[in-house]
Amino acid sequence: MRAAVLTEVGKPLEILEVQVDKPGPDEVLIRTVASGICHSDLHFQEGKYPCACPTVLGHEASGVVEAVGSNVRYVVPGDHVVTCVSMACGSCRQCLRGRSHLCAHEGLVRSPGERPRLSRDGATVHQYFELSCYAEQMLVHEKAVVKITKELPLEKAALLGCSVVTGVGAAQNTAKVGPGDTVAVVGCGGIGLNAIQGARLAGAERIIAVDRLRGKLELATLFGATDTIDASASDPVAQVVELTKGGVDHAIEAVGLKQTAEQCFRMLGVGGTATVIGMIPIGTQLELHAVELLSERRIQGSSMGSTCFRIDMPT
């Protein structure tokens, strides 16, 4: 099959022929139909996060099942599926504590002694997050897929695997936005827009979208934002505090920068929570005014929207 391979960090992807193995007992072979392009992939390509090469990037995709292993009962050839990195083994410490999105993936990857799922000229090609969606086919553990209705267009379904569940999940699962809450979302790309719609679905009374691009702010209103702030025009923190007369209950960071994460914390009212979704580069240190912790302001991270994928994605 053809795949977009990262052969060296910092270099463009190369379209190469890659060999894909046959499905193991618990694996599913999928014909890829569509794949989202997430900024997270670019972080690894640019070396902001460690990446073994060669590797096939991509982690949110949709496709049609072509073959299944002997133990697979959840899907059959012909089923339409969506992939997600939030696969869960069901038996590790985090899974048993109800935090399956933090699963250690025990038993969901092939061991070093087994044949690799992907290879080229006999050498291993690494699988990005055990998925590798930038390819004509994907060979994954069956717990990495969710079956969807065939009426849902696959090019739209692909986005459910990351941008939708990550944004909506961050608002509803991680931040636990509730009816009547005030929310600021900083960054209105794919993740931020879905955080906005997640807050709207959760019943937030006021949702303030913050970005530097007018087009993204216009989209934010379609996704449920009640107010918009152009961060390039003036200090967004001051504007949020002024609009809400003291700060928001929730500030959600969907950019991945030190500056925006710190701004989210400063946007909080008493008892508020800042939730950071964006992948801030490794080595970055955040600076917060410690005295504000005394008023129970909090900052936390969110991984894949704290999503139990097999439950949350169909919802």
Indicate which residue of 35, 43, 101, 103 is catalytic. 43
264 flagged as catalytic: no
Q: Is the dihedral of CA 208, 209, 215, 218 positive or negative?
A: negative
Q: Which of 59, 80, 101, 250 is catalytic?
A: 59
Query: Amino acid letter at 128?
Result: Y
Q: Active-site residue 59, yes or no?
A: yes
**CA atoms within a 13 Å half-sphere pointing along the CA-CB vector of 38:** 33
How many other CB atoms sit within 10 Å of the CB of residue 284?
11
Which parts of 133-213 fold into alpha helices (H)?
A: 154-157, 163-169, 190-201
Residue whose C-alpha is closest to residue 171's, from 211, 135, 201, 126:
201
Q: Residue 63 forms beta bridges with which residues?
A: 32, 81
The single residue of 51, 95, 162, 308 carrying the catalytic annotation is 162
d(CA 137, CA 190): 25
- Strand, helix or coil at 155? helix
Is-contact 265 133, C-beta < 8 A? no
Q: How far apart are CA 300 and CA 206, in angstroms?
A: 21
Is 86 an active-site residue?
no
> Is 38 labeled as catalytic in the residue annotation?
yes
Give the active site residue among 35, 40, 132, 302. Answer: 40
CA distances from 304 to 27, 63, 110, 125 (A): 22, 20, 23, 25
Distance CA 235, CA 147 (A): 45
Catalytic site includes residue 39: no
Q: Which of 38, 95, 264, 308 is catalytic?
A: 38
Q: Take residue 25 and report the two structure tokens written for it.
A: 């007992």
Residues annotated as catalytic (active site), given as ranges: 38, 40, 43, 59, 162
